[in-house]
Each structure stands twice: as structure tokens, then as C-alpha cells.
Chains A and B, each alone.
Chain A
Amino acid sequence: MNVMIVGVGGQGTLLASRILGNTVIDLGYDVKVSEVHGMSQRGGSVCTYVKFGEKVYSPIIDKGEADIILAFEMLEAYRALPYLKKGGKMIVNNQKINPMPVITGAAAYPADILEKLAAVADVTALDALTMAEEAGSGKAVNVVLLGVLAKNTSIDYKAWQTAIKATVPPKFLEINLSAFEAGYRLA
């Protein structure tokens, strides 16, 4: 299974991919998680890949190969569209973060992204930011989205909880578990 996680640097995509990676190794799969560090983390487009199965070679996902795309931001969801497998699932946080060319007026933020995506893909859109804030912190957007992802996989609920406990610092655990629960219940 190929999961692509896309968003804007600073949104917590890296932690999401690590939690997912840890969830699936506990189930005995071969796993590769490809991360982004360095300059692009500074507010740029970021994407991480999590691939698992019997045997995984390439850590990256090619065009038309992602079973699920977990998008933290709408424009980044749209940008990632070519990577989605035909019949694949897209889970999109409906947050809009203007990139600098839009802020400076050099480009326009595309209109009606969710509608355009829904015309060609199976899309679940949600307001993960509000849900995360309700769970106790806007920073938990990543775990809300993981909750939605969890519902779209056959992986047991408990395996996710175990991985979250193993990955998240103890003082943020409660917020993260309720953020996960919120995402899981939505889907």
C-alpha cells in the first residue's frame, strides 16, 4: 500500500508519516518512509511517502501509484493529484494556505479545488484544523487526518493508538489521542 502525505512545511507531515510507519511495522509489513528535511521544510511544499507490503524497494511513490493521498492543504492536494492511482482515495484538510506567489499577487490560488478533485477522484474533505483545535491544539491537524486515514485502512484501531503513544511526547499524548479519535469518528 502506498500512502502519500502532502502539505506545507511546518504542518506536521513528518510526524504523521512516522506514526503511520510505526503503525504498520508493528503489523509485520516491510516499510519504507521517505521524509523531507532542510530548506523545503520552511513553509514550502512538502511530501513524504509511506509504502508498506511484503517487500518495498523504492522509497518514493511515482505518478499514478498512491492508494491514498493525505493532504494537509488544498493546493497541495491538487498538486499531488497526478500521484493518485486511478480509483485511489484522497483525504483533504480544507485549509487554504496562500503560497508566496499568491501573497505577492504573482499568481492566483486556484478556485474550487475540492470540486475539481471530486470530479476525478474519491475525495473526503474535512476541516481538520477546527477539529484539532477542538481536541486541544491546532498543531494536531496531522493526527486528525491520520484518524481519517485509519478508518480508510483495514489496520486495527489499537495498532494506531500504540504507534501514537510510541511516537508522540507524553505531555501531548492526550490531545493527540482525542484528535485521532475525532478524525476516526468522522470518516
Chain B
Amino acid sequence: MKKLLLGNAAVARGAYEAGVHFVSSYPGTPSTEITEAMATYPAEEVFVEWAPNEKVAAEAAIGASIGGGRAMTCCKHVGLNVMADPVFTDSYIGVGGGLVICVADDPGMHSSQNEQDSRHYAKAAKIPMLEPADSMECKEFTKLAFSLSEEFDTPVFIRLSTRVSHSQSMVELNDRESVTVKPYEKNIPKHVMMPAMAIKRHVVVEERTKKLIAYAESSPLNTVEDNGSDIGVITAGIAYQYAKEALGDKVNYCKLGMVYPLPKQKILDFAASCKKVFVLEELDPVLEDYCKALGIAVIGKDVFTLLGEYTPSMIGKAVLGQGEKSHSVPQEALPARPPVLCPGCPHRATFYVLKKLGLTVSGDIGCYTLGAVAPLASVDTTICMGASISAAHGMAKVRGAEFNKKLVSVIGDSTFMHSGITGLSDIVYNKGCNTVIILDNSITGMTGHQENPTTGKTIRGEATRQVDLLLLCKGLGIERVVVVDPFDIAAFEKAVKEETERDEVSVIIAQRPCALLKSVRYTGKCRVTDACRKCKLCMKLGCPAISVCDDGTIHIDTSLCNGCGLCVSVCPFHAIEKTEE
């Protein structure tokens, strides 16, 4: 049976067909849908979970593998940084049941804070890495990754990129293999990584890499397509698709489905058969540097960019001198349309108040990073998951108490569970006086509504125990924990003023659910009345539904307004009212 599947859903299908028993991940665009798709398969066949962060997810998957089951963990590129610690050492331990680590890079940074290239991790951790180029390969490579993992006793990376993860293409479906969980074997020299054991395991790892190189030479993953041309192209992943689109059969291809370790002889032979060789790879010159180290004079980043995504036309121009297709262009500069907080977003109220109070805001990763966008422009810093709290701690220590009274951290519920707790304990332990605002919107928002330990539901929607943020903060030793609804602007403002003034650490839990949750039902629409004095205070909210007309009057677009009523409560002249539906 054939089906149109997203690359991510195809990875999940591959894992399912490979008989995977356990999948644990933390959501991260563009990888999220792998684990979501995994949870559509029967619970009796595969245990699927959202973990609080990628490190926990990877450790759980490693444990499942040592326990004899086939296991998988999936993350975005920066998630791999979080899980790097267990992953590097699991390279030494190897696997019981097959272990696959899917990592999705985001060239072009569609939804990321950096553009790192995960292929460096494969080399650094000495873990083989496969890179599919479409959904069918996503499925097949993932299946193969499980058997390679067991054959070579190593975790195996599947490297994806946004355009592979988020493109749908045709996939031939097969049945699930019946794979039983292997018996557990206590094996201290292999499973306990202390120096005496790890020294011996490192030897095994280096031997394994040699065997993997031999495998790469003959693997069906690495293919050569000889079209009788003088020009050769060495490529992998989505760049292969762009090359095929732009260059067709006018060049020869060496398509690498396994990007670490690389097939030395195969590449040498391919290069020898061509007069001119291009390396086509988005992001860093990983394949290019390898080829150059082999003494092959390839053309790569000297003509292609290190930044963002490639396109077929870019490749056609550089390799064959093809011109762009003719097209028209707008005759004026167009206003950009950056993403914004949705109408009804609880964070809008939070940032409105923080901006009004003129606070320095140490930000974090989530929808609320958009609090940095004008007109709210409230967020000062965004680094990585959890850094809002720890970075504010460092900032407060160097800048002193007065600065700290105008400084807050903002962090979402899911991000707080991910890596905010440790930063908060640092503040408590080291006598910080910071104010931390947990934006509890009852869901992991940015990645598209995933459950987390604070929501009371599992990935399959079953009821479960719920972490109580208030008790958790109290348990860390914080005496000042205030729960407030940010839409009650007066109460929220009062809480922020009071807590920032204190000479002790405080947590404000700003509680209001995401406006896009099905359980959230605002009724009616907001409407501007004749009482409007055109003061434009409502414009400070940065609500996409509210605009100023040419004559200065305020207009609320009813197709965008969700009736949250935040503008009604900020209007000093009571000139905005709610209409009934």
C-alpha cells in the first residue's frame, strides 16, 4: 500500500515496521511530528512518551535499549546539544536492542535559534549517521538503522532537515516486523562506563568505525549514478533532490545516504571518473572537507553559501551556468510579516505589563520569544532552553541589587520543566534575589500543543499525575510563590512590582491557557465604540486584530479577533466593548 507521508511520519513508520518498542522525545521543530506519529500506533506495540527534555529522553531510550528493546529518541538540532552527554558515552556502551537517534536540522532557521550542522556530532561521537532525502528513504533508512545498530553494536543517527521532515511524498508501507525484547544481560565491562571499562570500550569503538567504513564502501545507502558526464556531484539529503531537479541527467551523482563514516574509496573512484566535482551540501562543508582531505579538488563552499537553504536554481546556476526562470517582481519594498503572538494569547498581557514597567526581561524558548517583536519589544535576551533563569542569575550578580529590581525571567511551563528547575535551584542556593515568571499556558505551545509533565495528560491523551508548579517551587526552597492571571492586568502588575522589590527570590506563576487550546472558548468579538479618543493605548498590545485606520480611528478585524477582551480591559475610556456572538 502506498501513502503520502510527511518525512517525519515516514521515520515513525520505519521505526514501527522495524518493531520499535520504546520512543521517548522532547518536542522541537522540525522533529516533533515523528514522535506524534509514533503515538498513533497501538500502545500494546510501542510505548511512546514526551520526556521533560532531550537528555532525559535519550537516557530513557538508552535504558530501553540496554534492557533489550528497540528504542528511538528524536530531537531538533539544538536538542542534540542537550542530549549530547549520554549520547557520547552510549557510543562506547553500544546497544542491546537497536537504538536510533533522529536529529532534524533547520537550515534557514524556520523555527530555531541557530543553524548548527548535526553531522559534526556523528564524527565527534563516532556514531554512524544516515541521511534520507525523501519520505520513502526516511522510512527505509530508519528501518535499516535499527538493524545496523544491532549489527555494529552502536546507536545510529538519522539526520533530517526541515525540507525532508516537513515534505510529504509517497511511501510504500510494509507490515511490522515481529521483534521480541532481548533477554537482559548484566554486563559490567560494557554497561558501566568508568575509566577502566571505558578505556577498553574506546578500543572497540575505533574498531567499529573501521568496520563501518568497510560497510559504507559497499552499502546500498551510497549510490553512484553515471550519466556519462564530465561533471560529478557529491551530495546527500535534500541537496540531492535540488540537484536532480536542476541538473537532471547532465551530471554524474554520488549520493551519500550514509554521511558518517564516509566511503573513502567510493568517493575517490567517483572523483577520478569526473573532470570537475562539486559538493552540494547545506550548512557546513562536512563532505567537502573530507574530500579535500583525500586530495580531491572539489568545488563547494567557495561558490555555495554557508548560510540558509539551497535552491535548485542556485545549484543550476553554479554548476551549469543556468539562468533563473523569467518572472515578475513587485515594484516596491514590501512590509515583512514576522510571526506574532496570536489574538487572545495570554503572553500578550504579560509583556504589555513588563514593557509598561520598563523591566529588563531575560527570555527563553517558546511562543513567548515573540515578546521581543515590536510593539511589545519587551524581551531582552533569548539564548537556549532554560537560560532565562540562569542567565538572569549571572546578570543580577554582576549588575547588583538595584538592577535586579528591574529584572525578570520569563519561561514557559514546558521550558521550565525542561531545564528551568536547575537554574532556579542555582538562584536559591547561591542567594540570588531574582524574580522568575513562569508563563503557565497549560501546554507546550510553539511546537504545536504537546503535553508535558504539568498538563496532566500523556502523549496519548491519557490522564496522569500532574507536576504542581507551586509545590515544586516551594520544594526548591522559594517562599514567595504567587499565582496570578496575567489577563487581570492590575493584579499581575501589582504582583510583578511587589516581587521585584523584594530582597529574596520570587516566582510568579502567570496562569492562563493558550488561546488555541480547544478547551479555551472566548465568545463574542471586541468592537470600538464612539467613545474612542484615538489615544492608541490598545495599539501597545500588538494584537494582530487591532489597526489604526487612515483617519486615526481604531479598527478591530472581526475575522482575526477571538474575543479575548484584553483590549477592553486596557482601554482607559471604556471605548471597546464585547459584542455577543
Main secondary structure of the interface of B (DSSP, over half): loop
Chain A positions within 8 Å of B32 at CB level: 37
- Known contacts being A81-B328, A97-B544, is A31 close to B168, with CB within 8 Å? yes
Does A27 lie at the interface of the complex (its beta carbon under 8 Å from any beta carbon of B)?
no
- Contact present for A75 and B547 (CB under 8 Å): no
Q: Contact between B311 and A83 (Cβ–Cβ < 8 Å)?
A: no
Question: Interface readout for B1-29 with A: 1 if CB under 8 Å, 0 if not?
Answer: 01010100000000000000000000001
Q: With a CB–CB cut-off of 8 A, which chain B residues contact A138?
A: 559
Q: Is there a chain B Cβ closer than 8 Å to A82's Cβ?
A: yes
A21 touches B4 (CB 8 A): yes
**Which residues of A pack against B, CB within 8 Å?**
8-10, 18, 21-22, 25, 30-45, 56-60, 62-65, 75-76, 78-79, 81-86, 95, 97-110, 116, 120-121, 129, 138
In the complex, A38 Cα to B337 Cα: how many Å? 15
A132 to chain B, nearest CB (A): 10
Q: How far is the CB of A99 from chain B (nearest CB, A)?
A: 4
Q: Contact partner of A31 among B170, B334, B336, B367, CB < 8 A?
A: B170
Q: A10-B342, A21-B168, A25-B4 are in contact. Are A100 and B559 (CB under 8 A)?
A: no
Would A100 and B338 count as touching, CB distance under 8 A? yes
Q: Is the CB of A34 within 8 A of B4?
A: no
Q: Known pairs A39-B369, A40-B339, A86-B327. 20 more at Cβ < 8 A?
A: A10-B342, A21-B168, A31-B4, A31-B168, A32-B167, A43-B337, A57-B242, A57-B245, A63-B325, A65-B325, A75-B334, A76-B337, A79-B337, A82-B328, A82-B329, A83-B327, A97-B557, A98-B547, A103-B542, A110-B335
Bound-complex Cα distance A21 to B336 (A): 28
Is A44 within 8 A of B30, CB to CB?
A: no
Q: Across the interface, do A108 and B341 meet the contact criterion of CB distance under 8 Å?
A: no
A75 CA / B219 CA spacing, docked (Å): 49
Complex Cα gap A78–B338 (Å): 16
Contacts of A98 in B (CB 8 A): 544, 547, 557
Q: Report the minimum CB–CB distance from A10 to chain B (whole Å).
A: 7
B93-101, B185-193, B370-378 - the one binding chain A? B370-378
21 examples of A-B residue contacts, CB within 8 angstroms? A9-B339, A34-B166, A37-B30, A39-B367, A39-B370, A43-B340, A44-B338, A44-B340, A57-B241, A57-B244, A63-B324, A64-B324, A81-B327, A81-B329, A84-B327, A84-B328, A86-B328, A100-B340, A100-B373, A101-B374, A116-B331
CB pair B166–A36 under 8 Å, yes or no, is yes
The 0/1 profile, CB within 8 Å of A marked 1, for residues 226-263 of chain B is 00000000000010011011100000000000000000
- Contact call B339/A81, Cβ cutoff below 8 A: no
Contact partner of A37 among B33, B325, B548, CB < 8 A?
B33
Instruction: Let me know if B327 and A37 touch, CB within 8 A.
Output: no
